[in-house]
Amino acid sequence: MPSVLILYLVAALGVEPAKVDFSQDIQPIFKKHCFACHCETSSKNGLRLDLKTHALAGGESGKVIIPGNANASILFRNIAALPNARAMPPKGVRLSSKEIELIKTWINQGAKWPDDGSEKSNPLAWWSLQPLTQHPAPLANSSWINNPIDSFILAKLQQKQLAPSPLASKQTLIRRLYFNILGLPPKPQDVDAFLNDTRSNAYELLVDRLLASPNYGERWARHWLDAVHFGETHGYDKDKLRLNAWPYRDYVIRSLNSDKPYGRFVAEQIAGDILYPGNPEAIQALGFIASGPWDFIGHAEVPESKIDGRVARHLDRDDMISNTSNTFLSLTVQCAQCHNHKFDPITQADYYSMQAVFSALDRADKPYHADPLIAEQFVKLQSQINATEKQIQTLEANLPGKKELAELDAQIKKLQQPAQGKNPAFGYHSAISNNQSVNKWVGVELKDAANIDKIVLHACHDEFNNIGAGFGFPVRYKVEISDDSSFKNAVILNLSDADKDQVNPGLTPVVIPAGNKKARYIRLVATKLAPRQNDYILAVAEIEVLDAKGKNLALNCLVSSLDSTEAPIRWAKNNLTDGIWFEPLGPSAKQILELQEKRKSLYATLVPESERQKLSRLQSQLAEFNKQLSSQPKPQMVYAGTVHSGAGAFTGTGANNGKPRAVHILQRGNIEKPLDPVSPGAISSLLHSPSRFTFNENEPEGSRRVALANWITHHDNPLVWRSIVNRVWRWHFGKGIVDTPNDFGKMGKLPSHPELLDWLAADFRDNGQSIKRLHHLILTSATYMQSSAIDPNMDIKDSDNIYYWRMNRKKLEAEAIRDSVLKVSGKLDSSMYGPSFQDFIIEKPEHSPHYQYHLHNPDDPKTFRRAVYRFLVRSQQQPFMTTLDCADPSLLVDKRNETLSALQALALLNNGFMLVQAKAFAQRIEKEFPKPDQVEQAFYLALGRKPTPIELTNLHAFVSKVSLADLARVLFNLNEFSFID
């Protein structure tokens, strides 16, 4: 007790209190009272008091410790249970007054929290956050060493008392290289040529030849597409197709084949449109931002004004930044959505700052020009238009009489707005027909028979297939009225027009006089349906049946029809008589004309001649630019991250000039609990460059992405370079130096060879960031060229081959198996690029498309292209490829699962694709080789080597009993077909 008294006294006297020591005085208090709820295992309200960075960063409601100001620190206010504070701890023993005073003093003295050097107290000391240091390769005197990679590997092997395996045979090496670089098997001629090539650099020449092949980009693009979860449907419910996603895939193939420097490759995918204007590849690259799944319903049917709509958009940005940080930085920033990252120094504020970078964007088709010259012209015209518009604006802003003119303009503009927006109740919609000349009808039954003056038909308005006004209105039709429901004695009202094609009325009502005839049943019979996409329909918004007084007798009357697509709210039979249709322009054109005339005369009197001339010159210039622009070829589309201008619930930020949505830190990730707004930024524990980006308010959204791209590709950012060299290494060896390529944080694995990783990263960064150069270095290393045979003596010490005492035998991926089967059967269509092939039939595209793989004909040569060109559906993945462990396009796949199962055996044995190709392979053998050679040559084609005598004997015995197609099927199913030594 005395000591407490003394403390109080000292404080009261204004004398500096004794220095409080964190480890001695404060840490034990935290441990005793706070850790139960605020540590690694439980971090209530996102607050942890066991780690310095976390504690100082605070919790969900912000900082809790303000160094130097205890009274402003929530931590102190709470433990002291000050007014309006939340007394802490909420349950159990409260802190003693001595403990409270110690904490107060500690905070007032600056909340000094020493780093004790351990990772726990200083997460910034984590290996992956350290700057790259280029350790020199260890000096080792060994003839085994081909290049510095081997020096690092050998040093470690020796340290672990391991030794490298012998050089693999040339036979093995050529097959290994072909699959590794191209994903395809070598032809027997290629094998022969290589085996007979006695030049000392034959291997290196082969490496270079293969790296120069366009097939290289196809193989390696697939690796990249795994990482960025590229898919071509949205996923979720109503899994619609993205028919313009493929340009991004082509972009990746082209970038790899042209060996684009990695920094540029990264930057283009985040901000290519701004960094490299006019370059089509830089637009296609933005497909990266949109590559992942997208909640169609959550965007297209739920607006941002609803909670569910905001949740969908929040999750959408979450996907964008997860993709960005996992792919380029190997950090799992997504773990900081609800609280500061539990293991890595990533704060919740970092997470939302990254969201703010992308907050103007949505996923949508973005136009671009593939021809760079046209693209350049396009950009030039666009900027001329912008400049001229700006000049006009400036000029107009300073005109005398601008106020009066502006008032008139506003009036005119208001009158030009449609009177009524789009009511969701569109109308009646028939079932879809494949045949335009099928008759379809829809009719109204009045409550009683009545005298009818006229019938008015209102067409629908639906943006589907860009049809808009007049959607579904029949090309040829009859309007019939009748006394009886069977229409036996029907009168056709539009007799003279009934057998002629009619001009689509758009939104103009179609009036059909009825001559005051009496009837109870009215129906519209379409004899030639309206075209929709590749099919035909009948749709009508409203049928009005008017009596002589103009009263609509049909309102809310019973509707019947041959068939109907009932999709309320929009489409329903009852919508035909609901009194709702899409209204065209409301006010009379006359009124607008009058106002325009008034404006003209006002303009002439108020604005001096010189100004008028200037303005009219600018306006004719603008018209000329616009004319030129519209005469340019139509742009192509890529599904990309872009500022979207849409209708309905999915409006995007386009209407707001692409102004980014405000992003707040969300308490526990809850959209209904926004805390402080954040500025765009990145991860604050990386110190190479400021992690919060500052802009003036009017800066376009693209500046945010440029800032992030620059931050990521910064020379001194250690993660980006380590990340890519580790990925490339893993794709070659089947195992990474860090074997969690998407996570270099504490939940990831540690590097097996940290010095080698840094050496490779720095060497890569400083030598043109050339991925092909990196390939060459790895592929020509003695490490890579080792045999994959397992030496039991080494296996005992390092069964997982962590230290690379041998090469890893690799199981081929789904794509490599499929491509090889096609190559070997002789059916591979090697054409590159363009829209993806679809190996499914789509049913019910109008609602949730059903992707029916089993209805597709496996004999269809359109599907004989390489698997990288396969159309990737999210909700229903291709069963054959999925069984063979292809990547799931909804997941960020840094390494694929590798499994073996009975279902895989069944797929390779029995799938239609495999059987079609077995037959094709048999035909090829039959055609190309004389009978005695067929077995041997088939084997050589499939496996890249000739069979041994015992294999040959067995195969001959087999073939004598079965067909060549059976032989082909067996060869495709051999272990050796799927595994590469």
Q: Does 515 bind another protein (CB under 8 A)?
A: no
Which member of 39, 663, 907, 942 binds another protein (CB under 8 A)? 907
Work out how close the CB of 338 gets to another protein at its nearest, in angstroms, rounded to a whole number: 9
Q: Does 900 bind another protein (CB under 8 A)?
A: yes
* Closer to another protein by Cβ: residue 78 or 973: 973
Angle, CA of 731, 781 and 225, to the nearest 5°:
15
Q: How far is Cα 47 from Cα 742, in angstroms, rounded to an integer?
A: 26
Q: Does 890 bind another protein (CB under 8 A)?
A: yes
Q: Which helix (H) or strand (E) holds 540?
A: strand 539-540
Work out how close the CB of 39 gets to another protein at its nearest, in angstroms, rounded to a whole number: 15
Q: Does 390 bind another protein (CB under 8 A)?
A: no
Up-side HSE of residue 111: CA atoms within 13 Å toward CB?
21
Q: How far is Cα 337 from Cα 355, in angstroms, rounded to an integer?
A: 10
Q: How far is CA 637 from the centre of its chain?
A: 15
* Closer to another protein by Cβ: residue 9 or 900: 900
Work out how close the CB of 548 gets to another protein at its nearest, in angstroms, rounded to a whole number: 33
Q: Does 170 bind another protein (CB under 8 A)?
A: no
For the four alpha carbons of 858, 859, 860 and 861, in that order, the dihedral sign comes to positive
Which member of 422, 837, 915, 929 binds another protein (CB under 8 A)? 915
Which amino acid makes up residue 203? Y
Q: Does 882 bind another protein (CB under 8 A)?
A: yes
Token pair, residue 294, equals 């997208």
Work out how close the CB of 817 gets to another protein at its nearest, in angstroms, rounded to a whole number: 13
Which member of 858, 923, 936, 946 binds another protein (CB under 8 A)? 858
Q: Does 859 bind another protein (CB under 8 A)?
A: yes
Q: How far is Cα 28 from Cα 96, in angstroms, rounded to an integer?
A: 13
Q: How far is Cα 65 from Cα 72, in angstroms, rounded to an integer?
A: 8
Q: Does 465 bind another protein (CB under 8 A)?
A: no
Work out how close the CB of 517 gets to another protein at its nearest, in angstroms, rounded to a whole number: 34
Work out how close the CB of 631 gets to another protein at its nearest, in angstroms, rounded to a whole number: 44
CA distances for 699 relative to 79, 354, 394, 694, 703, angstroms? 44, 17, 19, 10, 7
Token pair, residue 379, equals 């950009």
| Contact range with another protein by CB under 8 A, out of 67-75, 218-226, 229-237, 276-284 | 229-237
Q: What are phi and psi of 253, to 5 degrees?
A: -60, -45
Q: Does 39 bind another protein (CB under 8 A)?
A: no
| Contact range with another protein by CB under 8 A, out of 22-30, 678-686, 820-828, 872-880 | 872-880
Q: Does 457 bind another protein (CB under 8 A)?
A: no
**Among 964, 968, 665, 770, which residue's Cα sits nearest to residue 259?**
770
Q: How far is Cα 161 from Cα 143, in angstroms, rounded to an integer?
A: 18
| Contact range with another protein by CB under 8 A, out of 219-227, 308-316, 506-514, 578-586 | 308-316
* Closer to another protein by Cβ: residue 26 or 920: 920
Which member of 567, 593, 604, 623 binds another protein (CB under 8 A)? 567
Alpha-carbon Rg for the chain, nearest whole angstrom, is 36
* Closer to another protein by Cβ: residue 780 or 883: 883
Residue 54 CB neighbours (<10 A): 24
182-221 footprint of another protein as x/- string (CB under 8 A): ----------------------------------------
Q: Does 668 bind another protein (CB under 8 A)?
A: no
Work out how close the CB of 347 gets to another protein at its nearest, in angstroms, rounded to a whole number: 16
Q: How far is Cα 210 from Cα 181, in angstroms, rounded to an integer?
A: 7
Q: Does 949 bind another protein (CB under 8 A)?
A: no
Q: Does 589 bind another protein (CB under 8 A)?
A: no
* Closer to another protein by Cβ: residue 60 or 273: 60
Q: Does 245 bind another protein (CB under 8 A)?
A: no
* Closer to another protein by Cβ: residue 502 or 876: 876
Q: Does 856 bind another protein (CB under 8 A)?
A: no
Task: Determine contact, residues 366/603, Cβ cutoff 8 Å.
Answer: no
* Closer to another protein by Cβ: residue 498 or 974: 974
| Contact range with another protein by CB under 8 A, out of 48-56, 592-600, 608-616, 888-896 | 888-896
Work out how close the CB of 976 gets to another protein at its nearest, in angstroms, rounded to a whole number: 5
* Number of shown-chain residues binding another protein (CB under 8 A): 100
Q: Does 962 bind another protein (CB under 8 A)?
A: yes
Residue 53, C-beta contacts closer than 8 angstroms, at least 6 positions apart: 122, 123, 124, 345, 685
What is residue 264's DSSP assignment? H
Q: Does 916 bind another protein (CB under 8 A)?
A: yes
Q: Annotate 571-600 with b (16+ C-beta within 10 A) or e (fewer).
A: bbbbbbbbebbbeeeeeeeeebeeeeeebe
For the four alpha carbons of 475, 481, 487 and 492, in that order, the dihedral sign comes to negative
Looking only at residues 919 through 948 of this chain, which bind another protein when binding is defined by CB under 8 A? 919, 922, 948
* Closer to another protein by Cβ: residue 760 or 971: 971
Q: How far is Cα 36 from Cα 799, in angstroms, rounded to an integer?
A: 41
Which member of 489, 902, 930, 932 binds another protein (CB under 8 A)? 902
Token pair, residue 875, equals 């909700």
Q: How far is Cα 55 from Cα 27, in angstroms, rounded to an integer?
A: 12
Up-side HSE of residue 743: CA atoms within 13 Å toward CB?
16
| Contact range with another protein by CB under 8 A, out of 471-479, 687-695, 768-776, 906-914 | 906-914
| Contact range with another protein by CB under 8 A, out of 19-27, 72-80, 392-400, 897-905 | 897-905
For the four alpha carbons of 455, 461, 462 and 467, in that order, the dihedral sign comes to positive
746-765 footprint of another protein as x/- string (CB under 8 A): -xx-----------------
* Closer to another protein by Cβ: residue 250 or 318: 318
Work out how close the CB of 572 gets to another protein at its nearest, in angstroms, rounded to a whole number: 8
Q: Classify 896 as helix, strand or coil.
A: coil
* Closer to another protein by Cβ: residue 180 or 332: 332
Ramachandran bin of 934, using left for φ above 0, alpha for ψ from -120 to 50, beta for the remaining angles? alpha
| Contact range with another protein by CB under 8 A, out of 16-24, 328-336, 448-456, 769-777 | 328-336
Q: How far is Cα 226 from Cα 229, in angstroms, rounded to an integer?
A: 5
Q: Does 566 bind another protein (CB under 8 A)?
A: yes
| Contact range with another protein by CB under 8 A, out of 275-283, 411-419, 483-491, 873-881 | 873-881
Q: Annotate 185-220 with b (16+ C-beta within 10 A) or e (fewer).
A: bbeeebbeebeeeeeeebbeebbeebbeeebbbbbb
Q: Does 306 bind another protein (CB under 8 A)?
A: yes
Looking only at residues 792 through 821 of this chain, which bind another protein when binding is defined by CB under 8 A? 792, 795, 800, 809, 811
Work out how close the CB of 718 gets to another protein at its nearest, in angstroms, rounded to a whole number: 18
Q: Does 670 bind another protein (CB under 8 A)?
A: no
Looking only at residues 705 through 744 of this chain, which bind another protein when binding is defined by CB under 8 A? 740, 742-743
Q: Does 688 bind another protein (CB under 8 A)?
A: no
DSSP letter for each residue of 476-537: EEEEEEESSTT-TT-EETTGGGTTS-----TTSPEEEEEEEEEEEEEEEEEEEPEE-SSSEE
* Closer to another protein by Cβ: residue 137 or 968: 968
Which member of 237, 304, 404, 497 binds another protein (CB under 8 A)? 237
